[in-house]
């Protein structure tokens, strides 16, 4: 009976450790998506996680986004295995941030 109890206890502890490791990885991915959502939709945007799908080529997080100005919407956050993040609406429209480095200047005086 002691062997059965030890085996059961070992399996329970191993399962708990795997769940804790997966939870940490998912939390890191959610933080990464939150960072990108705040860059694109503005600081102060709140997110709520609706689900995570783990795939061979990366993970898909489904988020409900609450911008500070505007209506809430569902956004899909795709993180591939290399760590590249892309955001899409439910219609498939890519959300990208404005990247302006100041090198191109427009002048109306010409």
With respect to residue 56, please indicate whether it lies within any of the assigned structural domains.
Answer: yes
- Is 110 part of any domain? no
* Domain count of the fold of the chain: 1
Tell me if 13 is assigned to some domain.
yes
**How deeply is 83 buried, as exposed, middle or buried, from its count of CB atoms within 10 A (0-12, 13-18, 19+)?**
exposed
pLDDT recorded at residue 105: 58
Residue 68 has pLDDT above 90, yes or no: no
19 found inside a domain:
yes
| Structural domain harbouring 50 | 2-95
Per-residue pLDDT, 83:
84
Q: pLDDT for 72-83, tens place per residue?
A: 899 999 998 888
């Amino acid at each position: 009976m002691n062997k059965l109890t030890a085996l059961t206890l070992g399996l329970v502890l191993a399962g708990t450790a795997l769940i804790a490791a997966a939870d940490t990885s998912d939390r890191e991915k959610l933080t990464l998506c939150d960072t990108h959502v705040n860059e694109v939709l503005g600081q102060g945007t709140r997110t709520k996680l609706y689900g995570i799908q783990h795939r061979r080529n990366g993970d898909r997080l489904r988020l409900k986004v609450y911008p500070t100005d505007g209506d809430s919407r569902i956004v899909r956050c795709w993180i591939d295995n290399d760590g590249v993040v892309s955001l899409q609406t439910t219609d498939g429209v890519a959300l990208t941030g404005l990247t302006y480095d100041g090198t191109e200047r427009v002048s109306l005086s010409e």
